Amino acid sequence: MRTTKKYIYDFCEGSADMRTLLGGKGANLAEMSRIGLPVPPGFIITTEACHKYWEEKDFIASIWEDVQAAVARVEKLAGKKFGASVDPLLVSVRSGAPVSMPGMMDTILNLGLNDDTVAALAKSAGDERFAYDSYRRFIQMFSDVVLGVDIVKFEERLAKARENAGVKADYQIPAGELKKLVADYKEIVKEAGREFPTDPWKQLRLAIDAVFRSWNTPRAITYRKINKIPEEYGTAVNVVTMVFGNLGDDCGTGVCFTRSPSTGENKLFGEYLINAQGEDVVAGIRTPVPIAALEKDMPEVYREFHRIAKLLEKHYRDAQDIEFTVERGKLYILQTRNGKRTAAAAVRVAVEMLHEGLIDEATAVSRVSPEQVEQLLHPQIDAKAKHDVLVKGLPASPGAAVGRVVFDADEAAERGGKGEAVVLVRPETTPDDIHGLFASQGVLTSHGGMTSHAAVVARGLGKPCVSGAEAVKIDLAAETFTVGDVTVKKDDILTLDGSSGEVILGKMALMEPKFDENFRELLATADKIAKLHVWANADTPEDAKRARDFGAKGIGLCRTEHMFMAAERIPVMEAMVVATTKEERVAQLDKLEKMQEEDFLGIFEAMQGLPVTIRLLDPPLHEFLPKIPELEKALAKRDPNGAEAKKISATMARARELHEQNPMLGFRGCRLGMIYPEIYEMQARAIFNAACKLTKRGLRIIPDIMIPLVGTEFEMKAMRELVDGVGAKIIEESGVKLEYLVGTMIELPRAALVADQLAKYAQFFSCGTNDLTQTTFGYSRDDAEGKFLAEYVQMGVFKENPFAQLDRDGVGALMEIAAAKGRSVRPDIKLGICGEHGGNPSSIAFCNKLGLNYVSCSPFRVPVARLSAALAALGAIK
């Protein structure tokens, strides 16, 4: 049955925007053809045909006449005949999916050769060696890809041919020897129980079948899974006239980037080989020379190529990665695509193209991914530092890690827990190792792939991981591993590069993040596009300065309890916590007040002109409780009837009283402020005094005071009144004008559910999504991450760890409720997010959708967030 649907497009019929139908390669070939570039004639069988192929038995038969007709049109354009005994047309048959899946599917070159056409080719090329070399390559490739014959036999026979000829390289094998080789190749195919088809049409049909078939090989399926490529895409088949770069010194082949893929510099970067086929470049037998050499070898061709390269860049408005062949002085463009590039190159190319007027701001911003920004901001192994790679495994989880080798998860957990930098080395990891993984700087495994337990867990935890380094032989009993003749012992220092898979013995210098002019300009452009402001979480003047330098437009979370963690403050804080009377507590608070005011002076000054959101005390109370065993020891040394002993006993009793089963759900946040209002009064005084002092000096200070862990209207009202009461007095006394807001965290499900009640008193909401995730899921982060959460991610319970990427169905639903209810009462309520999700691109996209005013994240993530906010506004991340 013939089909009426159009499954075949000649190159001249397609264009770049038909990527889905024609595949990436096909669409680009068609596009180049369309704009008059020298592309060898050819046609494309569509991805829709691929679907049909998998649905209908013998689908190829139904389009066969169309294939033949398409070949006929190619023959006309090429001026050659397929299967002809004079100057025969040879074609390549290549896969090409809508998105690139490099090396995953099949390609056959030189199709159309048989004992007859090879002779004709020898004649037309005037080069018998070339013709038989092409023939033997074709047989080998066809047998491998289409017929499934073991390739080893061919390689052995090829080696013998080199031996016979007394040469080292394949291209040196003379024609006579190649003829014998071809004969023997055919014998190998026969011995394998297969038949090598001599009919070029049969070859073509089988090759098309093989390309379609290759869409569903296990490795292709796995690749799609990892790279989240939809199953329904399918691959197209490109049938293209063969051109040859190995017909003499007026021939050649090469690949070229229009701009440097590593730095982004605007200059051709490529390699080329004179008198060679593409395969030779890939195989690495001959060393290609820089593209500049082409200018010397064939100046005309070079000028033409340079013109085309620039034209393609302009046409695609992006840096291109171009494959070309020169056949007897004539340039053919075989492929063009947007060139892959490093993060630094991506930034430079985007900014320079923007300057050149090639792209607009939105496009420039879209050219850099949040992951690339992250890469620029995290320490990497210093690329300039010389290093010997001990072994290379799979780049399973990015980032660099340095630490002492440990072979046991328990030991890693113990030493890592104490702050030592360790690297866990295991044959593979299991759920029982998670606590060790959690406490390590990184993990190296000798087995397992990109989706092994170690890889998935490490990615979930954000730890660098090199997996499947099979050359690593581990002796767990001896606590050593060897790579070849190198032995690495426990406690030796190792550096892992999870981005490249490299493992280096010893401690490598790590590179500080770069923040150059191009980067600043790109982010400034992003800011213009973004709807969300990006603020930062900062607890110290230093953090605040860094945040501002990274482009934060405010402080979204200044955690006052962190200010009490300093060594000299802890005893005062402890004494405040264990105080049993208000007087004792106030005495300690008086000491803390002076310190707090200093803190605020520094932060306010650093952020002058921008809002600073200060969260009143939300201590993990247990961290400030004196430790009972230490008190017991102290008590044992004292006269049991003395005043000292009594005091220690009282402290012990209070510490016991304040001990909590579940501190996460305990006497925290504003609960403390409700029961002991003197604490929050002290903090409010410190804030207002600092703000008023600086305002007097002419600085613009914008404090936003944030009440933590509010769950009820009563709390919000009481705390608002407390702050306003303190504020009114100090502002009046100081005689300055100071505007400030009082708001709350939305970090309890109830706060979201009664947000309308809270908004009566709260002037802003900041979604504390760390805590909100804990209570919404009922997960204690401390407990869950090291226990079941990593396994949940591996099992697929979540696509992403909900502490890293905002859970939209649950936590997000509550945020949506909070935003809607808050606005229903206070339409202009300021809405933000200050959990770690504030720096996560997907989560930022969600915040953009909710129409929040700002996201606040750690200073180091501010650039990622700025870009993400722009991409979200553009709909580029969703």
Instruction: Please report the beta strands in 553-617, taking only residues with DSSP state E, as ranges in sequence order.
Output: 555-559, 611-615
Number of residues that bind its own copies (CB under 8 A): 56
**Is 622 one of the catalytic residues?**
no
Dmax of the chain from CA atoms? 115
Interaction between residue 757 and its own copies (CB under 8 A): yes
Q: What is the C-alpha separation between 306 and 281, in angstroms, rounded?
A: 20
- Within 799-858, which residues bind its own copies (CB under 8 A)? 807, 809-811, 813-814
**Which segments are annotated as binding site?**
559, 615, 747, 768-771
Judged by CB under 8 A, which of 241, 495, 588, 776 binds its own copies?
776
Judged by CB under 8 A, which of 75, 597, 704, 747 binds its own copies?
747
Q: Which is nearer to its own copies, 169 or 653 (CB)?
A: 653
**Is 453 one of the catalytic residues?**
yes
Q: Which helix (H) or strand (E) holds 775?
A: helix 769-777
Asked if residues 761 and 717 have their Cβ atoms less than 8 Å apart, the reply is yes
Interaction between residue 780 and its own copies (CB under 8 A): yes
Q: What is the C-alpha separation between 365 and 360, in angstroms, rounded?
A: 9
- Smallest gap, in angstroms, from Cβ of residue 676 to its own copies? 10
- Smallest gap, in angstroms, from Cβ of residue 660 to its own copies? 4
Contacts of 872 (CB under 8 A, 6+ apart): 530, 531, 532, 841, 844, 845, 847, 848, 849, 878
Interaction between residue 771 and its own copies (CB under 8 A): yes
Interaction between residue 798 and its own copies (CB under 8 A): yes
- Smallest gap, in angstroms, from Cβ of residue 636 to its own copies? 17
Judged by CB under 8 A, which of 84, 147, 634, 664 binds its own copies?
664
Q: Which is nearer to its own copies, 515 or 667 (CB)?
A: 667
- Smallest gap, in angstroms, from Cβ of residue 439 to its own copies? 12
Q: Which structure tokens are listed for 81?
A: 């005949």
Judged by CB under 8 A, which of 500, 791, 805, 823 binds its own copies?
791
Q: What is the C-alpha separation between 613 and 749, in angstroms, rounded?
A: 22
**Which residue is it, tokens 């499954």?**
7
Q: Which structure tokens are listed for 281?
A: 């470049």
Backbone angles phi, psi at 677, to 5 degrees: -60, -25
Q: What is the C-alpha separation between 373 and 841, in angstroms, rounded?
A: 11
For the chain, what is the radius of gyration of the CA atoms?
34
Judged by CB under 8 A, which of 663, 822, 838, 859 binds its own copies?
663
CA 873 to chain centre: 20
CA 440 to chain centre: 21
- Smallest gap, in angstroms, from Cβ of residue 750 to its own copies? 4
Part in contact with its own copies (CB under 8 A); list of ranges 300-308, 340-348, 571-579, 776-784: 776-784
Judged by CB under 8 A, which of 774, 842, 848, 856 binds its own copies?
774
Q: Which structure tokens are listed for 345?
A: 């190159």
3-class DSSP assignment, residue 9: strand
- Within 245-264, which residues bind its own copies (CB under 8 A)? none
- Smallest gap, in angstroms, from Cβ of residue 659 to its own copies? 9
For the chain, give the number of residues: 878
Which candidate in 50, 251, 435, 453 is catalytic?
453
Strands 702-707 and 611-615, sheet pairing: parallel
Q: What is the C-alpha separation between 530 and 874, in angstroms, rounded?
A: 8
Q: Which amino acid is at 607?
A: M
Judged by CB under 8 A, which of 418, 675, 698, 827 binds its own copies?
675
Q: What is the C-alpha separation between 380 and 378, in angstroms, rounded?
A: 6
Quick one: 198 exposed, middle or buried, by C-beta within 10 A (0-12, 13-18, 19+)? middle
By rule CB under 8 A, what string of x and - marks binding of each residue 393-422 to its own copies?
A: -----------------x--x---------
- Smallest gap, in angstroms, from Cβ of residue 795 to its own copies? 7
- Within 352-371, which residues bind its own copies (CB under 8 A)? none
Interaction between residue 714 and its own copies (CB under 8 A): yes
Interaction between residue 665 and its own copies (CB under 8 A): yes
Q: Which structure tokens are listed for 382?
A: 């210093």
How far are the Cα atoms of 4, 22, 48, 52, 818 from residue 62, in angstroms, in the given order? 10, 19, 14, 10, 58
Which candidate in 670, 834, 847, 857 is catalytic?
834
**Which segments are annotated as binding site for Mg(2+)?**
747, 771
CA 558 to chain centre: 29
Interaction between residue 580 and its own copies (CB under 8 A): yes
Q: Which is nearer to its own copies, 55 or 432 (CB)?
A: 432
By rule CB under 8 A, what string of x and - marks binding of each residue 154-173 to its own copies?
A: --------------------
Asked if residues 238 and 27 have their Cβ atoms less than 8 Å apart, the reply is no
Q: Which residues are catalytic?
A: 453, 834
Residues that bind its own copies (CB under 8 A): 410, 413, 431-432, 435, 580, 653, 657, 660-667, 671, 674-675, 709, 711-712, 714-715, 747-750, 753-754, 757, 771, 774-780, 782-784, 787-788, 791-792, 795-798, 807, 809-811, 813-814
